[in-house]
Amino acid sequence: MTVLRARSVVVATGVPALFALLAGILTVTAPNPVAQAEEVAAAPAVVRPPLAIAPFATTRALPQPGYRPIPVTDRMRTADRVAFITIDDGVHKDPDALAFVEERQLPVTAFLSAWTIKDQAEYFTRIAAWGSIQNHSATHASFADETTDLNHEICYSQKAMRKAFGSKPWMLRPPYGAGADRFGTVLTAQRCGIREIVMWDATVSDGKVRLATGKLRPGSILLLHFGPDLARDLKAAVRAIHDAGLTPGRLADYLPTSSPEAS
């Protein structure tokens, strides 16, 4: 369930829930069925009091008729027995991690902060050879902070990554997973070619897998970081994926709107 979809469900169910509540009150206070039937026959048309809370109030903030939310995914809904390895940031370029990925031909999705690429684009090109390289901001500023320059964080890094890798990202992972539901984030991301916002339901650090809920499931998305111990974390992730009866999958093949474009 995405953040934005979850919000729309709440909005959509709010009004029926209110009527259900009113209906419940009327039922409880009815004097008896026969008298009630006579009263109903003679009753004037029902006049409903105005709602105290305007329904769909949240839609008033929609800035444009053409606005549409970007899907936010924390776990893919798939019956395939796959889980997805994603690696964030890019500060450290651990050679042992690269060797492990190349040996296994692992499909990893690298969410990079553009400032970490520098002159070492080849490292990321190689480690994501079976996966893809995607956007994790320019400077790792929080998208939830209203002073953050979203145009720089999202759009500049789109250009920087296209220059470094030859193709423009179409997935975005906000730093700290924050601010994905802000209109500014969505509008800026759409304008600059982002079609999916990707979160996670499991993290791997210190060689340990930590789950948001329960256990790794088909479609689980694991979050790792380009740190000095990435090789150890990758091995832990692969072990946990296999222990759950799954195999590492290529995230870009599973997102509903996947269609990378080089423009």
Residue 89: CB minimum distance to Zn ion, A: 5
Q: 74 vs 82, which CB is nearer to Zn ion? A: 74
Q: Give the number of residues written for the chain.
A: 263
- Contact residues for 255 (Cβ-Cβ < 8 A; gap 6+): 71, 73, 76, 171, 195, 196, 198
Residue 88: CB minimum distance to Zn ion, A: 4
Q: 107-122 burial by CB neighbour count: b if 16+ within 10 A, else e?
A: bbbbbbbbebbeeebe
**Contact between 74 and Zn ion per CB under 5 A:** no
Site string (84-123) toward Zn ion, x via CB under 5 A:
----xx----------------------------------
- Contact residues for 132 (Cβ-Cβ < 8 A; gap 6+): 109, 110, 169, 171, 250, 251, 252, 260
Q: 97 vs 246, which CB is nearer to Zn ion? A: 97
> Which residue minimizes CB distance to Zn ion?
88
Q: Which stretch binds Zn ion (CB under 5 A): 73-81, 161-169, 172-180, 226-234?
A: 172-180
Q: 88 vs 94, which CB is nearer to Zn ion? A: 88
CA distance 223 to 90: 13
Residue 155: CB minimum distance to Zn ion, A: 18
Applying CB under 5 A, the residues found at the interface with Zn ion are 88-89, 175
